[in-house]
Amino acid sequence: MTKPAPTTRPLDEMIVGAGLIAGSANVIMQLGRPGVGYGVLESKVDSGNLFHRPWKRTRTTFTYLAVATLGTDDEKRKFRQAVNRVHAHVRSDESSPVRYNAFDRELQMWVAACMYKGFEDSYEALSGKPIPEQQRESLYSAAAPLGTTLQVPPEMWPASREDFAEYWAEGLEQISIDEPVRELLLDIAALRFLPTALSVLFGRFNEFITTGFLPETFREQMHLTWTARDQRRFDRITTAIGAIALRLPRPLRQFPFGLLLWDLRRRIRTGRPLV
């Protein structure tokens, strides 16, 4: 009997584990909206604090990407329920400088938009060329679960990639990173949430890569400089990584997303906490 061909999804080509080198930049983009930034800065949920539980927090974030892009509807539903129980504790109080609520659909839409932009930007950096427009449109349409896996209703996801570009441009006008949030984000870029040995070894490199993946609006808000020479070095590094990563067989190319999805399914099966 002929073995059936593996199922492919529109996002399969863009899901590249090496693209996670853009992770810190994507966090900065998400937290650039004050409601998201202060929601994280002031969060009292210790289990989700990157500096207290770096591995658990990282696993949860990357698992969300895995289940939103590769998971079944039932897995999305169960992960949503688990995240919602945590998000119920994330809301501003009378001392907060800005109002926020983790169930705010507008803020969730912004976070999802940053995740999608991160997929696009990292894939283009690794491949060294733009995504063809027709392919970009199909990829974008398939990416709606990055938002709808939580509270973003389908009608909030911009209907086309062109509509998304307008949404993104408007969103950039709402970016405002003040000093307390900036300090937090600089610590994330320098990997100061990791054990000292790891942050010393990889912190400067991560800062450089993070700055390279940031759009200019965010570099300005973060007070980060970037030169043409920096850009050339960034391009050389990312395309060299991509030359290897994009040629790997799909399971290896998508690592660790497949592993994270396997872990999620194991947790569901054994009744363990999902986040």
Give the C-alpha separation, 16 to 19, whole Å. Answer: 5
Residue 10: cis peptide before it, omega within 30 degrees of 0? no
- Whether 93 maps to a domain, the answer reads yes
3-state secondary structure 240-252: HHHHHHCCCCHHH
Number of domains in the chain: 1
- Whether 30 maps to a domain, the answer reads yes
User: What digits encode the pLDDT tens for the residues 15-34?
Assistant: 999 999 999 999 999 999 99
- Whether 2 maps to a domain, the answer reads no
Contacts 24+ apart (CB under 8 A), 245-248: 245/16, 245/17, 245/18, 245/126, 246/16, 246/126, 246/127
User: What digits encode the pLDDT tens for the residues 45-54?
Assistant: 877 678 888 8
pLDDT band at 8; cut points 50, 70, 90: low
Distance of CA 194 to the CA centre of its chain: 18
pLDDT at residue 237 tops 80: yes
Res 6: pLDDT = 46
User: What digits encode the pLDDT tens for the residues 250-275?
Assistant: 999 999 999 999 999 999 999 999 98
For residues 92-99, average pLDDT = 90
- Whether 106 maps to a domain, the answer reads yes
Give the C-alpha separation, 151 to 104, whole Å. Answer: 8
**Exposed e or buried b per residue across 146-181, where buried means at least 16 C-beta atoms within 10 angstroms of its C-beta:** bbbbbbbeeebbbeebeebeebbeebeeebebeeeb
Lowest mean pLDDT among 16-20, 51-55, 151-155, 218-222: 51-55
**Residue 137 near residue 130, CB atoms below 8 Å:** no
- Owning domain of residue 69: 12-269
- Whether 184 maps to a domain, the answer reads yes
pLDDT band at 10; cut points 50, 70, 90: low
- Whether 5 maps to a domain, the answer reads no
Q: What is the DSSP letter of 5?
A: P
- Whether 1 maps to a domain, the answer reads no
pLDDT at residue 4 tops 50: no
- Whether 141 maps to a domain, the answer reads yes
Phi/psi for 110 (5° steps) reads -65, -45
For residues 117-145, average pLDDT = 93
pLDDT at residue 55 tops 90: no
pLDDT at residue 77 tops 60: yes
